[in-house]
Structure 1
Amino acid sequence: MQFKSTVISNQEVSPGYFRMRMTAPPELAGSQPGQFIMVRVRDAIDPLLRRPFGIFDVGVAESEFPGLGAATYLEMLYKVVGKGTEALSGYHHGDHVDVIAPLGAGFDLGDPEEEKILVGGGIGIAPLYYLAKTLVQHSRVRFFLGGRTRDDILCVTEFERLGVETYVSTDDGTLGDRGLVTEVMERHIRENRSRKTLYACGPMPMLKAVAEIAQRTATPCQVSLEAYMACGMGACLGCVVKGKEHSDETPDYRCVCKDGPVFAFDQLKWV
């Protein structure tokens, strides 16, 4: 659905990273973890295209606007990287944004008896909080969070408040373990042989490493891809990735926005 949303808050949670909460229609409370939204930053030609953002959280809380009572809210987590997100960072309480949501295919929550392993890199944690919030109702959840430096480690306290066991690593060792988050995660998988499913979102090199670990350890794995999008609905074909059967003779492409953004790792071609 397309709707006008009112900004409730827009807080900088780490240098260059923002968490925006906005109003949403009640129907959005039924969104699946892993789905995304498309936001029109301004009612102007520049920037022209909407921007895609993973759904960080959806819920119902007492409204901060007088007389509304309990109301549905939507949250997104974003990093300032260009003109669109820079404009968003200047939004304040009471400002309005135009939103299309929910879009795409979300995560399969799997068997409640399995342990759930979440792996996120930097802003890639955006869709994993709502996933964790849903999974902890039935399953044990561990979260492996990585970044280049401590400034790229976001919202650890929020995950811990859900009851999620959280592990942090940074490339430079400024917070948590030193090294790649995938190395820390693989050690846990090999040391704990209980049935588990992996869920990952982050930069493509990290996702490729997660997919290789899933292959080596025979662990079910779902990945949420990040991609530039123009429409968010599969019409423009601007966000295609190669499917597992792709070759020069038999092209196999998947739209991240429509077929994903969540895929089983073995449905994609990683080379």
Structure 2
Amino acid sequence: MNFKATVITNVEVSPGYFRLRLTAPQFFVTAASPGQFVMVRVSASIDPLLRRPFGIFDVGVMATEYPDVQQPFLDILYKVVGKGTAMLAGFHHGDQMEVLGPLGKGFGTGEPSEGKVLVGGGVGLAPLYYLARELVKESRVHLFAGGRGRDDVLCITEFERLGVETYVSTDDGTLGERGLVTEVLERYLANGTGAKTIYACGPFPMLKAVAEIAGRTGIPCQVSLEAYMACGVGACLGCVVKGRDHSEATPDYRCVCKDGPVFDHTELSWEQRL
């Protein structure tokens, strides 16, 4: 569904990273699930022409200035990387924009257990927060968050407030352990923690490494891919990736926006990327 949204807050949570809260219809809050995304039109003009995709960080209802009146809302987490997101960072309370969503296939939460493991980096933490909020209702959840430096590790306090046990690593050692988040994950799993499911979102190299770990350990794993998107509904085929059975003779392509963005790690070809 396409709807008009009004900016409630647009706050810089770390240098270059923003958390945007928008009004949303009640149907959106009811229909959305962890792992889905929205397409946002950042300008009423044709420049930039295409909408921008953003994972859903959170949805809910909030109090207003009027007693007994609550406002449904949508939160997204984004990094300023180009013209579109730079324009988005300039939005203030009361400004309006168009939003299309919720879109895509989200995470499957599975059965309650004591071993839900989340792995994310940068804005890849966005859909994992929404997922964690649902998982903690019935399971013990562990988060492995990584980034190049401390500024790239986002919203850890929010995860901890949910009761999530967090492990942080950075490439330069400015926050948490020094090293890759997947290295910390491997050490954790080697201790025989009994992880039941891994959920990951972040850069492709990180997801590939997580998928390899899941394959070696036999732990079920779902990954949420990041991709450039033009339409968000599978019409333009601009965000396709190669499936596990892909070959020149029998092409196997998956649309990130329509078939995903969440996939079982066994569905994809990790050795071949467009």
TM-score, structure 2 length as denominator?
Answer: 0.97
RMSD over aligned Cα atoms = 1.1
Counterpart of 1:33, as a letter, is P
Q: 1:9 — aligned with what?
A: 9
CA 1:154/1:193 → structure 2, altered by over 3 Å: closer, same or farther? Answer: closer
Q: 2:44 — aligned with what?
A: 43
Give matches, 1:27-106, under 5 Å. 27-30=27-30, 31-63=32-64, 69-106=69-106
> Which shows bigger deviation, 70-79 or 189-198?
189-198
Where structure 1 has 5 or more consecutive residues not aligned to the other structure, the ranges are none
Counterpart of 2:36, as a letter, is Q
Q: Deviations over 1:185-229 (max 9, x none)?
A: 111112134241000000000000000000011010000000000
Distance across 1 between alignment mates of 2:253 and 2:133? 32
Counterpart of 2:42, as a letter, is V
Q: Deviations over 1:22-59 (max 9, x none)?
A: 10000112211000000000100100000000000001
Distance across 1 between alignment mates of 2:236 and 2:75? 26
Counterpart of 1:61, as a letter, is M
Q: Deviations over 1:228-266 (max 9, x none)?
A: 000000000000000010011100000000000000000
Instruction: Count the aligned residue pairs.
Output: 270
CA 1:68/1:248 → structure 2, altered by over 3 Å: closer, same or farther? Answer: farther
Runs of 4+ in 1 over 6 A off after TM superposition: none
Distance across 2 between alignment mates of 1:114 and 1:107? 18
Does the 8 Å contact 1:114/1:197 carry over to 2?
no
Distance across 1 between alignment mates of 2:150 and 2:102? 31
Structure 1 residue 63: Cα displacement: 2.7
Where structure 2 has 5 or more consecutive residues not aligned to the other structure, the ranges are none
Counterpart of 1:29, as a letter, is V
Q: 1:153 — aligned with what?
A: 153
Structure 1 residue 68: Cα displacement: 8.1
Does the 8 Å contact 1:36/1:102 carry over to 2?
yes
Q: Percent identity?
A: 69
> Which shows bigger deviation, 233-242 or 66-75?
66-75
Distance across 2 between alignment mates of 1:77 and 1:15? 13
Distance across 2 between alignment mates of 1:118 and 1:10? 26
1:169 aligns with 2:169: yes
TM-score, structure 1 length as denominator?
Answer: 0.98
Distance across 2 between alignment mates of 1:68 and 1:239? 43
Structure 1 residue 60: Cα displacement: 1.1
